[in-house]
A and B are shown apart, each in its own frame.
Chain A
C-alpha cells in the first residue's frame, strides 16, 4: 500500500538553526500538507500546497516557515531560525482531491523536532 514517507524521523537542533524536514507524498496525490503536534496536544494545521503554491496557511505558519516542492516528488518544510517552541512532531500528509477523490488524508509517520 502506498505511504507518505518522512525524513528524518527525529532531529535535534540548536535554537536559531535552520531545519529542513522532508516528505515524499503518495505519487498520484495532488494536495500536500504539513501539520504539527506538540507533545500531548492536538494536531494543528500549518499549510496546504497545491499546484506548486501554498493554497492555505494557518497563523502558526509565519515568516520563519516555508514549503517547497523542489523536484516533483519531495515536499519540504523549512524552519529558518528554530525556537524552543518549535519542538513538536511534524506530520506531512497528502490527499488526492479532484479526480479519484476519496476524502482521506494520508499522514506520514512524522518527524520529531527537538530544539535545545
Chain B
C-alpha cells in the first residue's frame, strides 16, 4: 500500500521567512496530493492540493510542487506569519474519478513562526 514520508517533523522560522515541507510517496499510482493545516485541537483543513497532471500550483503565499518521477511533493509558504503556526500534513491518494478521499497522511510537520 501507499506510504507517505514527511520531513521535517518540526520547523521553526522567523516571521517573513519562507518555510518548505517535503513529502515522498511510494505508490506510483497515486495522483492526488493535498496539504492540510491543523491548528491545535481543531479539524484538518485543506489549504492546497495538486494533481499529477501539473507540476506546480500556487495560491497567494502558498505553493505546492510535484515531481512525479522522483515521487515527491513539497509545500512552500512564503512571507510566513504567526498565524501560519500549525501542524501541516501532506497526503496522497488515488483519484479514480470518483472519490479521492482515501487519503494516506504523512506524520505531520509542526511549523512555528516566531514574531
Q: Which residues of A come within 8 Å of B, CB atoms?
A: 30-31, 33, 35, 41-45, 48, 50, 55-56, 91, 93, 95, 97-98, 103-105, 107-110
Contacts and interface: CB of A to CB of B under 8 A. Distances in A.
22 contacts: A31-B101, A33-B101, A35-B103, A41-B108, A42-B106, A42-B107, A42-B108, A43-B38, A43-B105, A48-B99, A50-B98, A50-B99, A56-B102, A95-B100, A97-B98, A97-B100, A103-B95, A103-B100, A105-B46, A105-B103, A109-B42, A110-B43
Interface of B: 32, 34, 36, 38, 42-46, 49, 51, 89, 91, 95, 97-108
Given A91-B44, A105-B46, A107-B43, A42 B105 contact: yes
Nearest to B98: A97
A45 B103 contact: yes
A103 B104 CA distance: 15
A107 B104 CA distance: 15
B46 A104 contact: yes
Contacts of B107: 41-42
Given A91-B44, A109-B42, A55 B104 contact: no
A98 B96 CA distance: 10
A108 B44 CA distance: 9
B96 to A, nearest CB: 10
Nearest to A104: B46
B18 to A, nearest CB: 24
